[in-house]
Structure 1
Amino acid sequence: MANSILENSQKLSSQLLEKIPYVKLLVLFGSRATRKNHDGSDWDFAVLYDEKAEGKQDQEKYERYLEVLDYLSEVLKINRDAIDLVELDRCSPLIGYQVARDGKLIYESHVGEFLKFRVRAWKVYADTAKFRKTQKESIHLWLKKWSLQ
């Protein structure tokens, strides 16, 4: 089904633009994008909103999140509980990197939007490498201290 989603991305794009015009970017990522999924695998999607159109209140942001979730569930005929939706402007550098590395573009409001995101995500991931290394070392020390390693 992941292939059919990618093949029908043109149709999805026009429907998305019509129903939810404030979406800048929609990307499929995770096991479905890398084709390492199994029957019970969930569907991982990443979304980036147009900052100018995005609501400023938490309630508005939540409603927009649910709108995208409902749209994906309805159009792709996927149970809503099987969809994980990540907001790219709020995700961790690791998730952003995974989306940039393995993501399959479903929709971009302007040509080059996904490329722009990928460059930014790779830069943030590289800039935060020292923090991940320090965190990993701390975890190893803690595990060693408690004889769990």
Structure 2
Amino acid sequence: MQITSALYKFAYCVTLVIILAILLQGVPFGSVTTTPKALLLWAYVAVVILTGVVAVVFRRLSRSFVWGVVGIFCAFFTWQNWFGPGGFFIQTETHSFDPTAAAAESARFNRQAAISYVVIMIWFLSLPLLRQFSRRTGAKNLGAAVPPKPQ
């Protein structure tokens, strides 16, 4: 069980590191013209880092704190990737001059983006769900050596 937990934490943190790397490299922080948008982007960077810390020590933290951090992360992830600059799910180009083909390509892109978004959200929400499940079953060695709550 300890190996499974370590692999899960590693995969979760690698996902966050990839998002952070793409965010820092691909998002045009310098070209953001409005101050609130730039502040939101930097807050998102901080939340990604905080989520990584929570992923490593999630068994030591309260359930509401883990849910809160992951919820805030998911909100920032949704904002940046659907509406923010350099978002993953914003179509930036088409490969046809034909309006019908362009509309079909856009619809296909939006379907794929929506499916990807749902899969990614399930992955991110698995952290607080796993934490809740591990506490409920009293599984040992999933994180810190915290004994299950007395009943």
Q: TM-score, normalised by structure 1?
A: 0.28
Structure number with the higher strand fraction is: 1
Of structures 1 and 2, the larger Rg is shown by 2
Structure number with the higher helix fraction is: 2
Q: TM-score, normalised by structure 2?
A: 0.28
